[in-house]
Amino acid sequence: MTRFFPGLLIEGFMSKLINKPTQNQKLLSLLQDGEWHSTIEIREKLFIMQSATRIFEIKEQGNGIESKMMPHNQNDLNSPKVAWYRLKKDLKQDRLFEVGNVRAY
């Protein structure tokens, strides 16, 4: 007779959830190189469909992110324009620490 132990299944499931990086963490990791990344690249590499929302959330955490609209294909200026993002290199934009709702830079 097979016995069912729900606690073991939940524990295994929860450990996978805890160790899995969030979309914001994945996106921030991609942007760490300081290079420009398009929404299409973010979708293809990280499978993030709403990159603008993730960028907004990352900015709300105090991270400086630059954005601009440029053609997706840099060699064809008539290609559709998409949003491109990169992490600001200026240290003033980096959050050093946060106490309550007050950010210190």
Nearest to 52 by CA among 63, 31, 67: 67
pLDDT of residue 91: 43
Domain positions in the chain are 22-104
pLDDT of residue 93: 42
Residues 17-75: tens digit of each pLDDT: 667 899 999 999 999 999 999 999 999 999 999 999 999 999 999 999 999 999 988 88
- HEC secondary structure over the chain: CCCCCHHHHHHHHHHHHHHCCCHHHHHHHHHCCCCCEEHHHHHHHHCCCCHHHHHHHHHHCCCCEEEEEEECCCCCCCCCEEEEEEECCCHHHCCCEEECCEEEC
Provide the CATH number for the domain formed by 22-104 in this structure: 1.10.10
